[in-house]
Structure formats: C-alpha cells, structure tokens
C-alpha cells in the first residue's frame, strides 16, 4: 500500500528506545527523514545509523525536553537540517507510580514537565512549520487517562490532560490545516513493561509465561501490545490514507477500556 510518506520529515521525541524508536524506524521505512531526540546519545546514534543505512536522513538532538528552551532550539535544528517539518510525534515522557499520599509535589511537577508541558512547548514551536506543509501532530498518552487507578495518580492525570490538549489543538488545526490526533496505548512490550512483569514474577514466584498470562487477565486485554502495533497505527494516521482522521483519541489497548 502506497502511503505517500516518501520525502516527508518527521520529528519523534523519546526515540532512543521503546515506542519512539519503533515509530522512528517505521516512518523511515516508509521513506521519511527523521529527527531523533532523547537523552541517551549512544542509543540515539544506533537508531540514526539504522535509518541512514536504509537510505534516509537522520538528525540527532540530545536534550532534555523538561528544559524550557529545549523545544524552540529543537525546532530550529529541524528547520536548519531539514528545511521544514511534516510530522511531529510527541512521545517522550514517563511518570512515577505510587501512593498518592506519599507522592511529592516535585514528582507531580516532573511528570507534567516531560509528558505535558514539553508537548505544549513543542507543539507551539512546531506549529508554524506544520502549518506550512499541512502536516500532522500525534501525541502519545496512555490508557491510564481513560481508566484512572489509585496507584497511577500522576500518569492518569497527565494522560487525560494530553488528550484534552490534543482536542484543543485539533480544533485549531481545522483552520490552520494541521491534522492532530492522540493515541492511548495500553501495555506495550518495552523495558518499562518488562520491569513490571519481572516484579510480578518476584512477588508471586510464577514463571514468566504465567505472570504474563495473569497480568493480561488482570488488565482485561487479549495480549500485550507490540511496539509495531503503535508504530503501524501512527504510520497510517500520518499517511495520505489517514487524512480524515482528525481530533480522535484512539485507545490502542487490546480491549482494556470497556466503556464508550
């Protein structure tokens, strides 16, 4: 299927590992040049090498998007190296789990700094470039925003905010020609999920297969997601085949969320 992505430029945050890495490689495989960002220079270099070997261009920005000036400097680097921007994938950010009564203000602030305010600043800085090319913006939230639980106070709040912010941007995007959507992935096979599986194995004494099966049962999902599940959906949304998908928040969750 021709997706019309050859020659497009994408910026994927948090692209040194996990979902961000998978998205960056998937877009490159469809012909995009990609700007990679994160704090692990070696890991970003590995992803950049893989993209360049496929014949596409890759830029690398080692930075912390919590820093207030990072977004504007990153977009200036994109403009300088690639001349414009067609796709922005706001993926960076993880939040701390724990008891609400022991989570500190600093931990709440850190969660919002990377997974909400960084998205806000980057969207603001990138918007003129996206508008010039009638581009696409996708923000990655998480199903915690749809199914809040006591131990995920920070993450649930942040993910809900990401979805609401995306709706606001989509409303503006109708006038400015920028496609905006949000994806709430459920449990995806990344290093972070493996830590949870390992902790469950240690807590229960179960072998890995049983721990995985029981965790899926507990979350009400058919299986854990693969990074490719998220990357493939994003690649479709930002392609020429997905242009009418606008203002959506998609639960990519294997059936986790039981409500409309």
179 and 195 assigned to the same domain: no
Asked if pLDDT for residue 10 goes beyond 90, the answer is yes
90 and 202 assigned to the same domain: no
The percent of residues above 70 in pLDDT, for the chain, comes to 100
114 and 86 assigned to the same domain: yes
107 and 195 assigned to the same domain: no
104 and 198 assigned to the same domain: no
Q: Give me the domain span that covers residue 206.
A: 190-224
Domain CATH code at residue 237: 3.40.50.720
Q: Within a domain: residue 122?
A: yes
Q: d(Cα 137, Cα 130) in Å, to the nearest integer?
A: 8
Longest dimension (CA), the chain: 56
Q: Within a domain: residue 1?
A: no
Confidence of residue 186 (pLDDT cuts 50, 70, 90): very high
How much is the average pLDDT of 216-236? 96
179 and 196 assigned to the same domain: no
Q: How many domains does the chain have?
A: 2
Tokens 């700094």: give the residue: 113
Tens-digit pLDDT profile for residues 50-95: 999 999 999 999 999 999 899 999 999 999 999 999 999 999 778 8
pLDDT for 92: 79
Q: Within a domain: residue 2?
A: no
Asked if pLDDT for residue 1 goes beyond 80, the answer is no
pLDDT for 196: 92
Q: d(Cα 79, Cα 121) in Å, to the nearest integer?
A: 16
pLDDT for 233: 98
Closest CA to 27 of 2, 47, 9, 46: 9
pLDDT for 260: 84
Tens-digit pLDDT profile for residues 23-57: 999 999 999 999 999 999 999 999 999 999 999 99
Closest CA to 188 of 55, 91, 115, 102: 91
* Token digits of residue 115: 């997974």
52 and 116 assigned to the same domain: yes
159 and 208 assigned to the same domain: no
Tens-digit pLDDT profile for residues 121-167: 999 999 999 999 999 999 999 999 999 999 999 999 999 999 999 99
- pLDDT higher at 260 or 142: 142
Q: Within a domain: residue 254?
A: no
Q: Within a domain: residue 245?
A: yes
pLDDT for 182: 98
Which ranges of 65-145 would DSSP assign to H, the alpha helix? 70-82, 105-112, 118-133
Confidence of residue 255 (pLDDT cuts 50, 70, 90): very high
Q: Label residue 101 exposed, middle or buried (CB < 10 Å: 0-12, 13-18, 19+).
A: exposed
């Amino acid at each position: 299927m021709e997706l019309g992505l050859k020659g497009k430029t994408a910026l994927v945050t948090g692209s040194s590992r996990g979902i961000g890495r998978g998205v960056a490689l998937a877009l490159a495989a469809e012909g995009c040049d990609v700007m990679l960002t994160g704090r692990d220079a070696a890991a970003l270099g590995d992803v950049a090498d893989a993209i360049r070997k496929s014949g596409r261009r890759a830029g690398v920005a080692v930075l912390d998007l919590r820093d207030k000036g990072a977004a504007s400097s990153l977009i200036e680097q994109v403009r300088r190296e690639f001349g414009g921007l067609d796709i922005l994938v706001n993926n960076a950010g993880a939040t701390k789990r724990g008891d609400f009564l022991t989570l500190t203000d600093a931990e709440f602030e850190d969660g919002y700094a990377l997974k909400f305010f960084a998205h806000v600043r980057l969207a603001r800085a990138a918007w003129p470039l996206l508008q010039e090319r009638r581009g696409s913006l996708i923000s990655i939230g998480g199903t915690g925003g749809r199914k809040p639980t006591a131990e995920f106070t920070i993450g649930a709040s942040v993910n809900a905010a990401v979805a609401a912010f995306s709706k606001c941007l989509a409303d503006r995007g109708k006038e400015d020609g920028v496609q905006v959507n949000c994806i709430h992935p459920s449990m995806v096979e990344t290093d972070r999920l493996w830590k949870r599986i390992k902790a469950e194995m240690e807590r229960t004494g179960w072998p890995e297969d049983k721990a995985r099966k029981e965790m899926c049962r507990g979350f009400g999902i058919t299986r854990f997601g693969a990074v490719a599940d998220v990357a493939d959906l994003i690649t479709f949304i930002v392609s020429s085949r997905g242009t009418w998908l606008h203002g959506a928040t998609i639960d990519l969750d294997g059936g986790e969320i039981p409500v409309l």
